[in-house]
Amino acid sequence: MVPVDLIRLILRTAGINGVGQTPNSEDNNDVLTHLNVMLAEWSAQRWLVYHLVDVSVTSTGATSYTVGTGGNFNVTRPDRIEAAYWRSTAVTPNVDYPLVEIPAREDWNRIAVKNVGNWPGWFFYDSGYPLGTFYPYPVPSGQPGELHINVKETLSSFPDLVTAINLPPAYLNALLWNGAQRARILYGLEADRSVDGQARKALAVIRGSNVQLPSMRMPAVIAGAGRRFNLWNGTVG
């Protein structure tokens, strides 16, 4: 299916055009813009994205790495990092170690010495724009390996009206009904309960197929005792 055919169905489903009526160019372009805005919104929601992308960079001993188009992690700039891990290449086969997220700038600021060199165990992501910044901690200085991040796949926007839609099949129904819901607003029509219900149902189908819940794990500070690396002051004790 191409966008122009989807838009024709959207406008008919929304009750804006009747059978046999063809949308004019202005209608096509307006709805196309709204569909691309909707896809951008969906790309920010984990449960509406069908895939996580694994992106890596070889560790250089730097204290930070840029994330975004043209950055060290060359990927569409994510609003957040879903997961990260350190891959040690010092041994064969290589061994992967998950990194724990430091969730807030305030927590990152509490770390007294940020350039401590050691085996990385944590990371902080500053979601700046147009490039974000990834901070591994401790800094893997002198440790041969790769830093990996998992980010949401960006749902492909529609470049024009005639390029084939490149999304999993279930997304077509969600685009149809949620597009019709927005089209009614665009054309000044009142909400339609049937359209709204189908729109929610279509999104629920995508959510059911995309949801992935990681296994719960106990924090290291609770899971065991002994001498441990202190995240805040960079010492072991």
Domain ranges of the chain: 3-47+154-210, 52-152
Return d(Cα 27, Cα 31) in angstroms, integer.
Answer: 6
> Mind listing the pLDDT tens digit for each residue in 37-82?
999 999 999 999 999 999 999 999 999 999 999 999 999 999 999 9
Return d(Cα 184, Cα 105) in angstroms, integer.
Answer: 41
> Mind listing the pLDDT tens digit for each residue in 98-153?
999 999 999 999 999 998 888 899 999 999 999 999 999 999 988 899 999 999 99
Average pLDDT of the segment spanning 77-93:
95
Alpha carbon distances (Å) from 218 to 58, 107, 211, 213: 29, 19, 22, 15
Looking up tokens 């401790």, which residue turns up?
138
pTM for this predicted structure:
0.83
Residue 24's Cβ-side half-sphere holds a number of Cα atoms within 13 Å equal to: 1
> Mind listing the pLDDT tens digit for each residue in 183-226?
999 999 999 999 999 999 999 999 988 766 565 554 444 444 44
Q: Does 233 have pLDDT greater than 90?
A: no
